[in-house]
Structure 1
Amino acid sequence: MTRPAFFPLLHQPRRVLVGLMSGTSVDGIDAAVVSVTGQGEAVAAELLAFFNTPFAPQLRSRIFEAFSPEKATVRLLGALNMELGEAYAAAALHAIREAGLTPQDVDAIGSHGQTVWHEPQGDPAFTVQLGDGDVIAQRTGIPCVSDFRTADLAAGGQGAPLVPFTEFLLYRSETECVLLQNIGGIGNVTVLPAGCRAEEVSAFDTGPGNMVMDGLMARLTDGRETMDAGGRTAARGRVCAPLLEELLRHPYFRTPPPKTTGREMFGADYVDDLLARGRALGLSGEDLVATATALTAESIAAAVREYVMPRTRPARLILGGGGSYNPTLVSFVRRALEPLGIRVQTQEELGHSSDAKEAVAFALLADCTLRGVPSAMPSVTGARYPAVLGKLSFPGGVE
Structure 2
Amino acid sequence: MRLHPPLTDSRQPRLCVGLLSGTSVDAVEAALCEVTGTGDSVRLRLLSHVSVPFPRELVARVLGPQDAGSLSQLNFELAEHFADAARQAMARAGVTPEQVAAIGSHGQTMAHVPPGADGTPSTLQIGEPAVIAERTGVPVISDFRTRDMAAGGHGAPLVPYLDWAVFRSREAPRALLNIGGIGNVSVVSARLEDTLAFDTGPGNMALDGLARRVTQGRLACDMDGTLSRRGRVIPELLAELLEHPFLAQPPPRSAGRESFGEVLVERMWARHPERPYDLVATALEFTVESIAQSYETWLLPRFPRLEGMYVSGGGTRNPSLMERLQARMMPLPVYTLDTLGFPEGAKEAALFALLAAEHLVGTPANVPSATGARRRVVLGKLTP
TM-score after normalising by structure 2 = 0.96
Is 1:2 matched with 2:8?
no
Matched, 1:285 2:276: yes
The 3-state SS of whatever aligns with 2:308 is strand
1:330 partner amino acid:
M
Query: What does residue 74 of structure 2 align with?
Result: 80
2:50 — aligned with what? 51
Deviations 1:36-73 (A, max 9, x none): 123321211111111111112222222112xxxxx311
What residue number does 1:170 align with? 166
Which runs of structure 2 are paired with 1:346-365 in the superposition (5 Å)?
346-365=336-355
Work out the number of aligned pairs and report it: 381
Distance in 1, matches of 2:55 and 2:285, equals 31
Task: Tell me whether 1:376 sits opposite 2:366 in the alignment.
Answer: yes
**Quick check: 1:133–1:144 contact (8 Å CA) kept in 2?**
yes
Q: Deviations over 1:166-206 (max 9, x none)?
A: 111111111212111100000001112x43x1111111110
SS state at 1:315 partner: coil
Partner AA of 1:144 in structure 2 = V
Structure 2 counterparts to residues 188-337 of structure 1, below 5 A: 188-192=184-188, 194-195=189-190, 197-279=191-273, 284-313=275-304, 314-337=306-329
Q: Deviation per CA, 1:247-287, whole angstroms, max 9, x where unpaired?
A: 111111111111111110111111011112234xx6x3222
The counterpart of 2:148, out of the listed 147, 152, 165, is: 152
Equivalent-residue separation in structure 2 for 1:170 and 1:124 (angstroms): 34
Between the aligned partners of 2:4 and 2:255, the Cα distance in structure 1 is 34
Q: Deviating runs (4+, > 6 A) in structure 1?
A: none
| Residue 91 (structure 1) shift | 1.1
State the one-letter code of the partner of 1:300. Answer: I
Question: CA contact under 8 A between 1:207 and 1:296: conserved in structure 2?
Answer: yes
The amino acid that maps onto 2:311 is L
Percent identical pairs in the alignment equals 46
* TM superposition shift of 1:4: 4.5
Per-residue deviation, residues 1-55 of structure 1 (Å, max 9, x unmatched): 41354423x4343111100011000011000011112332121111111111111
Q: Secondary structure at the match of 1:32?
A: strand
Instruction: Find the aligned partners of 2:199 and 2:60 in 1 and give their Cα distance.
Output: 26
Q: Deviations over 1:138-173 (max 9, x none)?
A: 211111100001001100000111111111111111
Cα RMSD of the aligned pairs, angstroms, is 1.4
Structure-1 residue corresponding to 2:383: 393
Q: 2:92 aligns with which of 98, 101, 109?
A: 98
Three-state SS of the structure 1 residue aligned to 2:48 is strand
How far apart are the structure 2 equivalents of 1:347 and 1:200? 21
CA contact (8 A) 1:5 1:370 kept: no
Question: Which consecutive residues of structure 2, in runs of 5 or more, have no partner in the other structure?
Answer: none
Bigger mean CA offset, 26-35 vs 246-255: 246-255
Q: Is the 8 A contact 1:151 1:387 kept in 2?
A: yes
Counterpart CA distance in 2 for 1:140 and 1:304 is 42
Report the residue type matching 2:293 in the other structure: A
| Residue 68 (structure 1) aligns with | none
Task: Find the aligned partners of 2:113 and 2:318 in 1 and give their Cα distance.
Answer: 29
Task: Please tell me the residue identity of whatever aligns with 2:152.
Answer: G
Distance, in Å, in 1 between the alignment partners of 2:59 and 2:268 is 24
Letter in 1 for 2:173: C
AA partner of residue 287 (structure 1): D
Task: Confirm or deny: 8 A CA contact 2:38 2:363 kept in the other structure.
Answer: no
Distance in 2 of aligned mates of 1:277 and 1:315: 41
Q: What residue number does 2:13 align with?
A: 14
1:3–1:371 contact (8 Å) kept in structure 2: no
2: distance between equivalents of 1:180 and 1:379? 16
Please tell me the residue identity of whatever aligns with 1:297: V
* Superimposed CA distance per residue, residues 311-366 of structure 1 (whole angstroms, 9 cap, x where no aligned partner): 1122311000000111100011111110xx31000012333211100000100011
State which drifts further: 299-308 or 11-20.
11-20
Deviates more, 1:56-65 or 1:209-218: 56-65
CA contact (8 A) 2:10 2:36 kept: no
**DSSP-derived class of the 1:19 partner:** strand
Secondary structure class of the residue paired with 1:11: coil
Given candidates 83, 86, 103, the residue that maps to 1:89 is 83
Letter in 1 for 2:163: E
Q: 2-side partners of 1:11 and 1:318: how far apart?
A: 29
CA distance in 2, matches of 1:160, 1:4: 22
TM-score (structure 1 length as normaliser): 0.92
Task: Letter of the 1:369 partner, please give it.
Answer: H
Name the residue aligned to 2:332.
Answer: 342
**Structure 1 stretches of 5 or more lacking a match?**
66-70, 395-399
State the alpha-carbon separation in 1 of the partners of residues 95 and 87 from structure 2: 9
